[in-house]
Amino acid sequence: MYRKTLIISPCCATKLYRCKDELSPKDFLSNKILEERTREFLLRHPNMHCRAIEMYTGQIYGKKEKPKSFRKCIKIIEENNMNVDYRIFSAGYGIISHDKDIVPYDVTFANKNGSNLNFEKVKRECGVRTKREWGDIRNARKDFESLIKEYDLVILLLSIDYMEGIGMDYEKYTLKKDGRMIVFTNDNEKNIEGISFIRLDNKRYGGHNTTVRADMLLGILETAIKENPNDPIEYIYNNYRDYDLLNKTIISF
């Protein structure tokens, strides 16, 4: 059985293109405004746009010629013909496909002390109070809930900041029948049917570290290919269900 799988990763601050007049939080207040601002931006910078997966070059992505952990995951998945779809949770665009054409922007869910790239900027420009409120403006929770019903296995590489953008009330998530979800978290989550929580070490990693999530997924994929080369996703689906087994496996990475 080739289970349909979805991996959702976050956006990042380091992008292929950056400029002083890139899109800001207020440009994302509605799709109509976004379309207008994008059109204006492309008149000024006609070549400064690309596919979403090419735009992000930091943290877990890197560039094609020097890939980091998540690009390595994608390469392994493609080489082994796994039935996997991808989405990126962009703090500006919402939940988008890798192929969506986007322009540079300076919106983030992260709280980075001493950085201009900070969620406080979203609060100031757009008058929102919480990350969930901003996520709702970008239709993130609705799109997320619709997506996860379509897949047998959903893997989230989102940090706490981005999880807050869709809401961390896991018990309210509605998965596909017999569907499963893997969440990398540093919270002491409850046991919830269908969701496997891979708990991170707070002192070593912290809840905001996206890189370690992608590193762990890379290790999981490599193990799955070794154990079941004919259907690695089936191995992940069946073996990353139980917390004790999961914890033992993660420690070995």
Please tell me the distance from the alpha carbon of residue 15 to that of residue 54, in angstroms, as a whole number: 8
Q: Could you list the residue range(s) of the whole structural domain that residue 87 is in?
A: 5-13+57-100+132-251
Within a domain: 168 = yes
E strand residue ranges, the chain: 5-10, 50-51, 62-63, 66-67, 84-90, 94-96, 101-102, 153-156, 180-185, 195-199
Within a domain: 232 = yes
Tens-place pLDDT, residues 69-118: 899 999 999 999 999 999 999 999 999 999 999 999 999 998 765 445 58
Beta-carbon contacts of 63 under 8 Å, excluding residues fewer than 6 positions away, are: 16, 57
Within a domain: 144 = yes
Within a domain: 192 = yes
Within a domain: 209 = yes
Please tell me the distance from the alpha carbon of residue 66 to that of residue 115, in angstroms, as a whole number: 26
Least confident of 147-151, 177-181, 248-252: 248-252
For position 228, which CATH number holds? 3.40.50
Number of domains present in the structure of the chain: 1
**Model-level pTM greater than 0.85?**
yes
Short-list 86, 85, 77, CA closest to 232: 77
Within a domain: 71 = yes
Tens-place pLDDT, residues 222-247: 999 999 999 999 999 998 865 444 45
Backbone angles phi, psi at 113, to 5 degrees: -60, 135
Within a domain: 117 = no
DSSP 144: H
Q: Are 148 and 89 in contact (CB under 8 A)?
A: no
Within a domain: 45 = no
